Amino acid sequence: MITQSPDTHPDTEKVLILLIRKASSTQKLNQVRSLSQTVIRLSKRALARANPNLSKREVDLLFVSHHYGKELADRLRKYLEERKVDCGKP
């Protein structure tokens, strides 16, 4: 068997694939959700470190701009300003 990852031993990969196959849909979804949350948190942290002068709200908007486009980030900024929403708190 050819491994999907060049730095993973074939026997290890077989075990990992078996564990994924045995996991319930709920377990798989929870793992995906957890990984997504981690990636988002790390991305925002990197943006904040690269832009220490930005507020949390500005970092969140920068995240949206990088991942979903400037147009959506601008629309979100306008919406938050109109609604006077502060960092996700209505």
Q: What is the pLDDT of residues 37-65, one digit of tens each?
A: 999 999 999 999 999 999 999 999 999 99
pLDDT at 90 (0 to 100): 47
Question: Which token pair is 48?
Answer: 């904040």
Domains held by the chain: number: 1
pLDDT of residue 1: 59
Residue 43 located in a structural domain: no
| Rounded distance between C-alpha atoms, residue 73 and residue 47, angstroms | 15
The parent domain of residue 73 ranges over 56-90
In whole angstroms, what is the distance from residue 90 CA to residue 83 CA?
Answer: 8
pLDDT for 10: 87
Stretch 4-27: mean pLDDT: 91
- The percent of residues in the chain predicted with pLDDT above 70, rounded, is 92
Contact 10, 18 (CB under 8 A): no
Asked, for residue 85, whether it belongs to a domain, the answer is yes
Mean pLDDT of the chain, nearest integer:
91
Q: Looking at the domain assignment, is residue 76 inside a domain?
A: yes
